[in-house]
Amino acid sequence: MKSLGIAALLALMGGMSVQAQDTVRYVGNTLSNVDYHHGQLNSAVGVHNIQTFRANRDNPENNWTYNHAPMLAYWNNTFYLQYLSDPVGEHIPPGQTLLLTSKDGYHWSKPAVIFPPYKIPDGFSKKNQPGVAKDLYAVMHQRMGFFVAKNKRLLTLAYYGIALDAKDDPNDGQGIGRVVREMYTDGTYGPIYFIRPNASWKLDKNTYPLYSASKDKGFVEACNELLNTPLMMQQWVEEADRNDPLIPLKKEVKAFSYYHLPDGKTVGLWKHALTSVSKDHGKTWEYNPLRAPGFVNSNAKIWGQKTSDGKFATVYNPAEFRWPLAISTSDNGLDYKNLWLVTGEITAMRYGGNYKSYGPQYVRGIEEGNGTPPDGNMWLTYSMNKEDLWVAKVPVPIMADVKGPVQEVFADLPPGEELKYWNIYSPVLAPVQIEKGSDGKKALILKDKDHFDYATAERVIAESRKPVIEFTVVPRQNNHGVLHIELQGPNGQAAARLIFDADSSLKAKVGYREAGIIKYEAGKTYTIKLEMDCNKRMYTLWVNGVNKGLKLFFAPVPYFKKVMFRTGVIRRFPNADTPTDQNYDLPEAGKMDPEAAYEIRSFQVK
């Protein structure tokens, strides 16, 4: 064996040193397939995806269509969701930051502007950047939205950057600075102050004052605590002065998130699944951030946190694209062992714009110290296509399998427990919820008047090659709308599909074609039973007790794992070959359809 040179030996020793460190790693075998929006991942059970804001350029109250980078906090028994917004595209001014609130995570307020557009003085220019400001406003960019101080004050923060043109970087250290204001318990806000202006920006009478000028000692105390917390400051690295002494790790790393291990060490995560560990709460880091072994993640954010059961979870797009949105769990906060689906939906991008990316992306949870929802579940927020805003409730403990038979009559289930094991995707214009049905009793109801999106309700079932599945559906109309009912195997693979179609026909997909079963009536109750058989690749269909014969699977599956109800046809756009930038709006982007509604009164599996 030849002896190693000094340089090679040092490199090897350096690699060995890194391997000896505590490092986040993915040790599972499941990988995402980007050819499917759901990545061919099995669903985490009981995830509820709720749209909190839907962009609409026809809305006179709020018609900006670039909405992105949401942040989440829970304080004063309320969810707070902050996001930034531009009229059309990223880094195209003016920019502003808005706030949504909710008491339950399902019903959200209208957006309120908390940091308004900021005028840049005419004649401003940057070093080494062409262009001079003329009638120009700032754009907003922030990686941190909230901070709950020890004195129980809730601060919300934002950053005003400058983009002299569509390709200029507002995070080049030559921006304006970071602003702060307080959220009060009565729902109002305190005045806006600068907490950390960029050194190149000169404050004058036309700008917001420094926070230290406030006469509210508690507010000043909260701001000082924030400025003296290294883990908070690390989130500011991109926008801050490049030599800002408050930033512990001055590297070109983005979108920092963190959590603490049981031994007190801090795990840091950045875009591209970069990671490091700190022994002193973020003052210093054990090694330069390196890509977490086994993780697949590109330039979208990754989120990590400790869950209420003492375990850990990371949430991210496990691809070079910004879909699907997936979750991985760990017992010790370092070794991640699985990969399950949070959402695999991508609605149509209705409005094109600068740097708008397809998919559910830029996920954030509730940062340590920023509140704990009483339900013990994991709450996340993300943007869809940098256009619409969503939250996701992920039940804890996080799991992807269920056992045993199912016997659910929604009218008989305890309030709040009806959808415990159901995964829902609930847009503003296509809500999925428990409410009174046409018989006056509780039912799972899917409504849809969204021309570009649909509602889904999915039930994970115990793995079975021969399940008997029965459910009761009441379509409220038979001349518009559509309800697809899919019987799925592992990895989201559909084997059979029934369709309540807009032509008043109940159909079954049989290969290329759809076979008619019956004509259905609006408001009539239909009890459907399916006796599935993976061995024969066939199923027997019963409608209201009448045998409708044998039907062939249109695709084989090894066993059944999920039943999906969907108020629209499956989407396959975009895909891995779709052009990166959409520079066009869809025709009639503000259009709504006549509302269709479907009641699901019961669901059982034997």
Q: What is the 3-state secondary structure (H, E, C) of 145-167?
A: CEEECCCCCEEEEEEEECCCCCC
Instruction: Please check whether residues 422 and 390 belong to one and the same domain.
Output: no
Using one digit for the tens of pLDDT, what is the confidence trace for 262-319?
999 999 999 999 999 999 999 999 999 999 999 999 889 999 999 999 999 999 999 9
CA distance 531 to 536: 11
Neighbours of 234 (CB within 10 A): 27
Task: Assign 206 a pLDDT band (cuts: 50, 70, 90).
Answer: confident
What CATH number should be reported for the domain holding residue 439? 2.60.120.560
CA distance 526 to 555: 25
Residue of 605, 559, 562 whose CA lies nearest to 44: 562
Q: Is the pLDDT of residue 9 over 60?
A: no
Instruction: Please check whether residues 182 and 58 belong to one and the same domain.
Output: yes
What's the rounded mean pLDDT across residues 536-548? 98
CA distance 206 to 173: 21
Instruction: Please check whether residues 208 and 114 belong to one and the same domain.
Output: yes
Residue that finishes a domain, picked among 366, 394, 422: 394
Instruction: Please check whether residues 382 and 466 belong to one and the same domain.
Output: no
pLDDT attached to residue 598 = 98
CA-to-CA dists, residue 309 to 329, 330, 375, 436, 602, angstroms = 12, 11, 12, 34, 31
Percent over 90 (pLDDT), the chain: 94
Asked if the structure places residue 56 within a domain, the reply is: yes
Residue that finishes a domain, picked among 359, 394, 429: 394
The domain total for the chain is: 2
What's the rounded mean pLDDT across residues 573-580? 96
Asked if the structure places residue 400 within a domain, the reply is: no
Asked if the structure places residue 8 within a domain, the reply is: no
Largest separation between any pair of C-alpha atoms in the chain: 83
Asked if the structure places residue 122 within a domain, the reply is: yes
Q: Is the pLDDT of residue 3 over 90?
A: no
Terminal-residue alpha carbon distance, the chain: 64
| Length of the chain, in residues | 606
Give, as one character, the DSSP assignment of residue 343. E
Residue 363 in 3-state DSSP? Answer: strand
Range name among 3-12, 21-30, 97-106, 376-385 with the lowest pLDDT average: 3-12
Give, as one character, the DSSP assignment of residue 219. H
Asked if the structure places residue 399 within a domain, the reply is: no
What CATH number should be reported for the domain holding residue 251? 2.120.10.10
CA-to-CA dists, residue 130 to 121, 161, 164, 354, angstroms = 16, 16, 8, 20
Instruction: Please check whether residues 97 and 170 belong to one and the same domain.
Output: yes
Instruction: Please check whether residues 279 and 356 belong to one and the same domain.
Output: yes
| 275 CA to centre of own chain | 21
pTM of structure = 0.95
Instruction: Please check whether residues 305 and 435 belong to one and the same domain.
Output: no
For the chain, give me the number of helices (H) and strands (E)?
Answer: 3, 40
Task: Assign 20 a pLDDT band (cuts: 50, 70, 90).
Answer: low
| 330 CA to centre of own chain | 20
Instruction: Please check whether residues 229 and 167 belong to one and the same domain.
Output: yes
Average predicted confidence (pLDDT) for the chain = 95
Instruction: Please check whether residues 390 and 410 belong to one and the same domain.
Output: no
Residue of 419, 488, 470 whose CA lies nearest to 605: 470
Instruction: Please check whether residues 438 and 380 belong to one and the same domain.
Output: no
Residue 491 in 3-state DSSP? Answer: helix
SS (H, E, C) 247-274: CCCCCCCCCCEEEECCCCCEEEEEHHHE
Using one digit for the tens of pLDDT, what is the confidence trace for 474-508?
999 999 999 999 999 999 999 999 999 999 999 99
Contacts of 64 by beta carbon, 8 Å cutoff, 6+ apart: 55, 85, 86, 87, 88, 96
Instruction: Please check whether residues 315 and 271 belong to one and the same domain.
Output: yes
The domain containing residue 359 runs over which residues? Answer: 21-394
156-160 long-range contacts (CB < 8 A, ≥24 apart) are 156/80, 156/82, 156/99, 156/114, 156/180, 156/181, 156/182, 156/183, 156/189, 157/195, 158/82, 158/84, 158/97, 158/114, 158/115, 159/236, 159/239, 160/95, 160/115, 160/118
Asked if the structure places residue 63 within a domain, the reply is: yes
pLDDT attached to residue 204 = 79
Asked if the structure places residue 447 within a domain, the reply is: yes
Which has the higher per-residue pLDDT, 553 or 203? 553
Asked if the structure places residue 224 within a domain, the reply is: yes
Which tokens go with 416? 């709040």
The residues facing 74 across adjacent strands are: 79
Instruction: Please check whether residues 431 and 349 belong to one and the same domain.
Output: no
Is-contact 189 182, C-beta < 8 A?
Answer: yes
Residue that finishes a domain, picked among 362, 394, 426: 394
Residue of 333, 330, 378, 294 whose CA lies nearest to 30: 294
Is-contact 452 350, C-beta < 8 A?
Answer: yes
Is-contact 181 155, C-beta < 8 A?
Answer: yes
Q: Is the pLDDT of residue 16 over 60?
A: no
